[in-house]
Each structure stands twice: as structure tokens, then as C-alpha cells.
């Protein structure tokens, strides 16, 4: 499947500080010990650093990670006014908007689906972190614990149930959901921390309200 073919670690390696530091050195040495074409690599380096930071802020995994790596961006979230959340919510979307404005052709920017998914993920994570800290009174939040795999699996099952159609209409989506309800394909994870209400069967939770 498309999900199985994704390799996020490879992307992170390609955008890592080791790579951007090498590019920055080549940029500074353009026309001397490196090709003059590297002189205009500044915007590319900025893009790589921004996306790499975006990945880091979505991958805080434990409370000691910051001390081991000596890098503040991997620190756990325990303050709803954390400057990193402000960067995700404001600075990063503004940076993307600036890139879009400067693009002379659609090919010079992200495709619409990627851009919208990136912003949706960003805003959702920020809102969720703040909700857990302020409303649920969590002591801290680790963003690596979040996962979109269940909803992506749901969408994948919907497409599969109607013949792998990637452009579902409302009728097709409802038909797919009915099949899932009848067959019990959708089941609640035993590791889930979401409480079930009433006497509704676990595999019907959530779908009843769609």
C-alpha cells in the first residue's frame, strides 16, 4: 500500500543538519572551492531546515531526549504557550504562504493535496497538544505518540470497498461505511486510551456518528 511504501526516516536523513551544513559550506565557498551555482542555494537550505524542524517538533519521544541530544526542539511539551507551538501555528504556515506567493508556476510549490495535508496536520497537532495540557491537565505531551495510521487505514478500506476508487463521492463513502459496519472490519484498538460509552460494540464506535 501507499502507507507501507512511505519512508519518513529517509526524508529526515536527506534534510538533516549534516546535509544542510554541507550545502551551506558549498554556498559560502561558491566561486572558490565549489561551483558558482551553489551561490543561489540559500532558499533551498532554508526550506530544508524548516521542514526538518517541522519533523522534529512532531517527533518528541521522551523526557530525556533533549538532554541526550542537547537540542531544545526535541524537548517534551509542557507549556501551552511553548514557542515551538507558536512557530508551528504561525511562522511555518506564513513561510509556506510566502513560498506559494513567490512561485511563478504551480510546479514551484507543493501540490494542493500535500499543502493542505501539511497545514491540517500542523494545526491539529498544535490544538491537540494545547487541549491535553489545558483541558485534560496532562503534565507533558510527546508528539511521537500521535498517529494518523487509523484514519488513513479507514480511508484505505473505504477506497478498497468501492473498487480502489481514489475519488469517492458521498454515495460511495456511505456504501463503504455500511459494509464496514456489517462486516466488522473496523475494530477499536485494544491499546487505545479512548473510553467507550454506552453499550455500543467497540467496532462500531465512532462510525455510528458518521
pLDDT 10s digits, 159-169: 777 676 667 77
**Is residue 209 very low, low, confident or very high in pLDDT (cuts 50, 70, 90)?**
very low
Percent of the chain scoring above 70 in pLDDT = 80
pLDDT 10s digits, 92-117: 999 999 999 999 998 999 999 899 98
pLDDT 10s digits, 26-59: 999 888 878 888 899 999 999 999 999 999 999 8
Instruction: Give the phi and the psi of residue 94 in degrees, each rounded to 5.
Output: -65, -35
* Distance of alpha carbon 207 from the chain centroid: 24
Q: What is the 3-state secondary structure (H, E, C) of 33-87?
A: CECHHHHHCHHHHHHHHHHHHHHHHCCCCCCCHHHHHCCHHHCCECCCCCHHHHH
pLDDT in the model for residue 6: 56
CA distances from 199 to 23, 194, 195, 196, 204 (A): 59, 15, 12, 8, 10
In sequence order, what are the residues at sequence separation of 6 or more whose Cβ sits closer than 8 angstroms to the Cβ of residue 135? none
For the chain, the residue count is: 210
**Is residue 66 very low, low, confident or very high in pLDDT (cuts 50, 70, 90)?**
low
The mean pLDDT of the chain is 82
CA distances from 51 to 4, 42, 130, 150 (A): 22, 14, 22, 24
Amino acid at each position: 500500500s501507499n502507507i507501507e511504501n512511505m519512508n519518513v526516516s529517509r526524508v529526515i536523513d536527506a534534510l538533516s543538519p549534516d546535509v544542510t551544513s554541507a550545502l551551506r559550506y558549498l554556498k559560502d565557498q561558491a566561486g572558490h572551492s565549489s561551483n558558482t551555482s551553489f551561490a543561489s542555494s540559500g532558499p533551498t537550505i532554508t526550506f530544508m531546515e524548516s521542514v526538518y524542524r517541522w519533523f522534529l517538533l512532531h517527533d518528541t519521544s521522551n523526557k530525556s531526549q533533549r538532554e541526550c541530544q542537547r537540542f531544545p526542539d526535541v524537548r517534551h511539551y509542557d507549556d501551552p504557550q511553548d514557542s515551538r507551538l507558536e512557530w508551528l501555528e504561525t511562522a511555518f504556515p506564513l513561510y509556506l504562504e510566502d513560498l506559494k506567493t513567490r512561485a511563478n508556476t504551480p510546479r514551484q510549490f507543493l501540490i494542493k493535496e500535500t499543502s493542505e495535508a501539511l497545514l491540517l496536520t500542523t494545526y491539529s497537532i498544535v490544538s491537540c497538544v494545547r487541549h491535553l495540557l489545558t483541558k485534560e491537565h496532562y503534565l507533558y505531551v510527546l508528539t511521537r505518540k500521535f498517529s494518523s495510521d487509523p484514519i488513513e487505514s479507514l480511508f484505505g478500506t473505504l477506497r478498497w470497498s468501492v473498487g480502489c476508487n481514489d475519488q469517492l463521492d458521498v454515495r460511495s463513502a456511505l456504501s463503504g461505511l455500511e459494509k464496514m459496519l456489517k462486516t466488522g472490519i473496523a475494530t477499536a484498538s485494544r491499546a487505545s486510551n479512548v473510553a467507550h460509552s454506552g453499550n455500543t460494540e467497540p467496532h462500531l464506535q465512532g462510525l455510528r456518528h458518521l
